[in-house]
Structure 1
Amino acid sequence: GLRGHVFKLADYPDGFSLLLDMEYIRLVFPRLQLSGVAGATIDLGYTEHLWRDNMHLRLQHNYVATDRLLCSRDTIDWLCPHPRGFRYLMITVRNAKSDVVLKDIALRSAGYPVKHTGSFKCSDKLLTAVWEMGALTQETNMEDAYVDCVGRERGMYGRDTIIQYHVNLAAFGDHALMGRCMQLYGQSPDSTGKFRAVYPNTGDYTIADFALNMVEGYLNYYENSGDLDRIREDWDAIMKNMAWFSSLSDERKDLLLDGEWHLHKGIKAHYGGFHGDLTSDGYMSKKGIHCSFTCTYLIALRSAIKLGKLLGESEAVKDMERRVKILSQSIRTKFWNPKKRCFSDNLKRETHSAHASILAVLAGAVSKQQLPHVRAHIANELKSIFVNGYDPKDGAICSPNYAFYLFDGVYRLGLPETAEGMMRQGWGWMLAQGMKTCGEYFTLGSSLCHAWSAAPTYYLSRNVLGVHYPNAPECGIVEIRVAASKDVTWAEGAYPHPKGAIKVKWHMENGRRVFDHVKAPRGVTVRSVK
């Protein structure tokens, strides 16, 4: 190896560079020990991208981490004072006056310590690899908070945090880190009352639907941790956040939300009035009175009602229940396109994305009569997430992050084959590019280790293993409800439980699912639900 290697001045009179490839991005404290460097300048550059020559770091406006050491002594033992996230590390030594000895390069992990309680494998090796890729991505992006990507801004984003918490539930079962994140988000509202998109920061960086997502995030956290104290402490912040959206909703009798509110109010909003999903051009209009935006508000209302009832906030609950009743009817009637038999993205019926219909399902706004039509629409619409049917060069109709919500709706509609197909195509494409971790988008040009894209790990564990806690946050009863396509002929793994893990193994035999075992910690009751 390189330890003890001598870089002779005669061989490298102008200096030398070392390029190290860590295979995938890591968050570490680099430590460098050298001798023979008195008077030398040492630069360390960090990134996850190289130029096409595979020799030079591709540093961009959001990949700028570098360190420079000016050596006054012959021997140095330097430990970076702050963690660095990188796949590629380039060490360049200039102006050395003698032979340089590389005594050691060491990398000390700066990641959050997790226990690998969850596991998953099945008859489909690709789905198994997708699960493992998501778990690795999640582990990589955990430090003192959930961060979007350790190689770039390392920000705690609202939507990202919620997705990451769920992936963690399947892989590690940790709650302490999410508790800290929620504590921080309780302090995050800006001057309007909305939760900031990323926190800590003192700016006005808010994204409207991310702020709504956070309310559902509080419910998710409570239902999995039982930490009602956190909800109680942050209740005022939750209500102030909701008040902003209720004020916007009150501008119409039907309470539907305008995706272009920022234009009417003369406000410069990050990502516009409604962020939604970054789909291919023309697939989902974000203009006007908007279905997905309104459904996201309705989901937040339903979440806040559940939390309010736990806290005994009857007056707030009463007002929100009134809104839920009106909104459910408004969404059901005004966005429904009877000719296409699906939900429109806006009242102008400009587009009919899968998102509109799935968000309506998640919001509980779809009637029994509409449901079979929605199911057929989604099964057809999501046959391919790539526009051209085979790769992302012509665009995608959903991004890896928003698939977290789409997967939820697809499974609720009883379409496991659709969910598995999306995973094979989208995340299989990532694996086919040689990626070890989930990319931010279906592209190689952005972050290649972005935890908001790891949702398949959660949904595979929850559905193919079938582990559910029907009385959450009380976990004394576990239900096994498998939702897998006929293409998956066996599966086994473990799902984290407060007392250990729920271990499941099953296989198909003569068209029937046979459980080889379902093991649970002592005192836990297991029920099998067909």
Structure 2
Amino acid sequence: MNSFACRKTYLPVRRIVWSSNCDGSRFLNKEQCQCSFHCDHDTLLPAGSALLLDFGTELAGGAAIVTRTGGRCRLRFGESASEAMGNPDQTHAIHDTELLLPAFGTFEYGTTGFRFLRIDAIEELKLQNILAISLEYSVDECGSFECSDPRLNQIWKTARRTVRLCMGNYLFDGAKRDRLVWMGDLYPELKSVIAAYGCHEILPRSLDFVRDDTPLPATMNNITSYSLWWIICQSEYFRASGNLEYLREQQSYLRGLAEQFTSYIDSTGAEQLPPRRFLDWPSNDDAVAMHAGLQGLMAFAFRRGAELAAALDDRQLLELCRSNVARLAGHRPACEENKTAAALQILGGIADRSETLLASPGKNISTFGGAFVLDAMAELGKIPEGLQLIRTYWGAMIDRGATTFWEDFNLDWLENSGRIDELTPPGMRDLHADYGNYCYKGLRHSLCHGWASAPCFWLSETLSGIRFTRPGRSELTASPRLAGLEWMRIGVPTPRGTILVEQEAGKAPEITVPEGVRLAPQEAGS
């Protein structure tokens, strides 16, 4: 049973984007969710009329229609204005449907991610209101981030909201599409949840769901490399929670997984993962980049496996993981220009690919691979470069109307394209419908994807300069990094409470720790 509660909120229309043969202005900022007997509350929608409504921000939930007279209508949900005006994809949730509305009632429909709603009156309707229904599970926002750069503050909050809307009964990949537990995608999502909400119970629940759904030798989500991410995510969760009892429950599966993946390393130390092979979508058709990235990913996973084995005092597993890291380090395939591959080789400790990683800032990355690029930048100490990447790449989505971050994005898409919160002007490209590839072509593209939330955890982790020296975040050192900022204030969750890191330029940092957390002496910030 799920033990955390879901909060249901009715939200009014904030803007009428477009209308045809009707006036929806009476719906604006109107919070009425119960039908009234008095006809002076009615808005007439003649048959054939239509409205495009904007609720102001991405939501997870559905719509409530308060009706005086019954009749048929068509509803279309959209994460962009153009999606609600088009033919939305129906995968994972229904986004385009015809409904029979009751007389004198409030009809509720939908469980998806959206910001816009188009309603078409198939028959004449007398409506009293149209509202969005926001469904969010109650969480404690124990993590925080604020600094002197308003753009970074907005990006952090947008990243937090992105992963927040993907927190359902499990940690989903997308609020609209990919309402599933994808193991590889969980890495940035899990880290963002920890940064914003601490060790929430949704994390072990999601990790256990994928484990239980994947008896060995099957691989998670039918993607071979995704089982490696389970090891890495287990290490991230153990670092944050210190829950050794939970980790012991994973020991048998972890050993079986390590033994299975040992067989995927050949005599030269090269990874030989069987199909289905996957790194990230931009690398999907590039066998060279995929091999380079998977080589780094395997080393990264076995490094983290060794960390878990040490905590479990499992010496046989520890030796196996360490031996595999050494074997994999003996084969260092070229990454060419692929930054995801370069980042994973850095994180795996098998090669210094900083030249590839830092070339052409903002280019050759994806919203998923960007998480590893940022992590690798932190490993190299390239903090100002990471901040600028966040401002440029994730900030560009906000500049075009995003209130959550997208399944994928390319800076090249910005040329002669419109905003997602407006109808695309003639002669310009539709930023949602005209772009995307693979599983995210056109309107199928998710504009609220948890794997895109990396700035949430990276800004908190990297600028706070906290290094936890014990699982469970009970002991730490801290060397805050302003990296050119004038000031910052960061809340970092632990199982014992929130650590507060504060610093102003030219002053020593102030670190406040909760009871039960030990702070070793720290260095002054930059």
Common topology (TM > 0.5): yes
Where does the alignment leave 5 or more consecutive residues of structure 2 unmatched?
A: 1-25, 33-39, 411-430, 433-444
SS at match of 2:373: helix
The 8 Å contact of residues 463 and 481 in structure 1, kept in 2 or not, is answered as: no
Report Cα offsets for 1:183-211 as digits up to 9, x if no partner.
10211226742122xxxxxxxxx222222
Equivalent in 78, 94, 105 of residue 107 of structure 2? 78
Q: 1:505 to 1:34 in 2, by over 3 A?
A: same
Q: 1:174 to 1:150 in 2, by over 3 A?
A: same
Tell me the equivalent position of 1:6.
42
Tell me the equivalent position of 2:387.
420
Tell me the equivalent position of 2:60.
27
The alignment's TM-score, normalised by the length of structure 1, stands at: 0.78
Moved more, 54-63 or 453-462: 54-63
Tell me the equivalent position of 1:274.
278
SS at match of 1:143: coil
Amino acid in the other structure paired with 2:99: L
Measure, in 1, the Cα distance between the counterparts of 2:449 and 2:84: 24
SS at match of 1:427: helix
SS at match of 1:78: strand
The 8 Å contact of residues 147 and 153 in structure 2, kept in 1 or not, is answered as: yes
Amino acid in the other structure paired with 1:171: A
Are positions 1:43 and 2:68 aligned together? no
Are positions 1:18 and 2:51 aligned together? yes
Are positions 1:384 and 2:361 aligned together? yes
Moved more, 285-294 or 423-432: 285-294
The 8 Å contact of residues 467 and 502 in structure 1, kept in 2 or not, is answered as: no
- The root-mean-square deviation of aligned C-alpha atoms, in Å, is 2.7
Amino acid in the other structure paired with 2:307: K
Tell me the equivalent position of 1:432.
399
1:345-356 correspondence runs (5 A): 345=335, 351-356=336-341
Measure, in 2, the Cα distance between the counterparts of 1:156 and 1:55: 26
Equivalent in 473, 476, 481 of residue 474 of structure 2? 476
Tell me the equivalent position of 2:85.
56
Are positions 1:307 and 2:281 aligned together? no
The 8 Å contact of residues 17 and 92 in structure 1, kept in 2 or not, is answered as: yes
1:448-527 correspondence runs (5 A): 448-473=447-472, 475-485=473-483, 487-509=484-506, 513-515=507-509, 517-527=510-520
Tell me the equivalent position of 1:199.
none
The 8 Å contact of residues 194 and 241 in structure 1, kept in 2 or not, is answered as: no
Amino acid in the other structure paired with 1:210: Y
SS at match of 2:85: coil
The 8 Å contact of residues 114 and 174 in structure 1, kept in 2 or not, is answered as: no
Report Cα offsets for 1:294-346 as digits up to 9, x if no partner.
22112222222232333343333333333222222x13xx54xxxxxxxx13x
Amino acid in the other structure paired with 1:253: S
Tell me the equivalent position of 1:201.
none
Q: 1:188 to 1:505 in 2, by over 3 A?
A: same
Q: 1:219 to 1:481 in 2, by over 3 A?
A: same
Tell me the equivalent position of 2:20.
none
Amino acid in the other structure paired with 2:460: S
Measure, in 1, the Cα distance between the counterparts of 2:290 and 2:408: 27
Report Cα offsets for 1:245-264 as digits up to 9, x if no partner.
32221xx21231146x44xx
Tell me the equivalent position of 2:446.
447
Tell me the equivalent position of 2:6.
none
Amino acid in the other structure paired with 1:256: A
Q: 1:528 to 1:432 in 2, by over 3 A?
A: farther
Q: 1:294 to 1:21 in 2, by over 3 A?
A: same
Q: 1:237 to 1:279 in 2, by over 3 A?
A: same
Q: 1:209 to 1:66 in 2, by over 3 A?
A: same
SS at match of 1:153: coil
Tell me the equivalent position of 2:346.
361
The alignment's TM-score, normalised by the length of structure 2, stands at: 0.79
Amino acid in the other structure paired with 1:183: D
Q: 1:156 to 1:380 in 2, by over 3 A?
A: closer
Are positions 1:320 and 2:321 aligned together? yes
Moved more, 352-361 or 166-175: 352-361
SS at match of 1:493: strand
* Cα displacement (A) at 1:289: 8.9
Measure, in 1, the Cα distance between the counterparts of 2:241 and 2:66: 44
Q: 1:108 to 1:468 in 2, by over 3 A?
A: farther
The 8 Å contact of residues 503 and 520 in structure 1, kept in 2 or not, is answered as: yes
Are positions 1:112 and 2:116 aligned together? no
Q: Share of identical aligned residues, percent?
A: 21
Q: 1:491 to 1:42 in 2, by over 3 A?
A: same
